[in-house]
Structure 1
Amino acid sequence: MVLRREAFLDRVKERGEYESDQEAERAARVVLALLGAHLVGGVRAELAARLPEAFALILLNPLQSAEPLSPERFVRATAAWIEGATETTAAWDVSAVLSTAADAAGDHLTRRILLQLPAGYDLLFGRPQPT
């Protein structure tokens, strides 16, 4: 099931405790653009198919990443792309967006996404994995 744009943004806005839809949208655009650079093949396409069209296109046309970023560097990169963000606020942004994306993806696809990412992303997705 594809989340409607408004429903997706409402969840991001609630989880990120943003005051405006614009703040939630900015976070979603940056985080999904960075995430798209880390996912390949069918996993990226399947996640895109479950996101609202505008966000699916961002995921499918990602910012370029020379190497997979650790969770810490992913947060730092997010902070660099969001004006006025700190690493603390960027961690909040990343978690709000990725946990909403994980809800849209469902457990099976989220597990497959996490297999493509460096260790530690499970916490950013709000899906801690047993070690």
Structure 2
Amino acid sequence: MGGHMASLAVTNIRDKPVSLIPLLSWTSASPVFTQGALAEAIGWKELSDELETNKELEKEDQTHPAYKLFPKSRAHRLMWILMDAFTNLANYPAPINTDSIRVVVAEDDAYVPRSSYIPDISDLWPGVSY
């Protein structure tokens, strides 16, 4: 997650070019917490119980891609939606010098699984290299 945090940080630097090499990161933390290695650390039953008792959380956007990923788990959907809202690099401005960013990713990563619902970093930050 350090590479992702560094990527988020660099989106806030607007006054000078910054080089970045995020290691084993991707464009959102949603897959990490719902499908990857950290998914096992989430108290899904407790979160599901909380969703059942909290009426304020009943309204969900049924067109959201999380519905296709987790049709039977409201807790997984909510975690995906929240993590994507706050950690998806698409929600932040691209760095001013993407050509000085080198991304190191794993081809088949169990910690940060790639999802077709999460944009590729080269789509968000044209000019990055792998």
TM-score, normalisation: structure 2: 0.31
Where relative contact order (Cα < 8 A, 6+ residues apart) is larger, the structure is: 2
Whichever structure has more helix as a proportion of its residues is 1
TM-score normalised by length of structure 1: 0.31
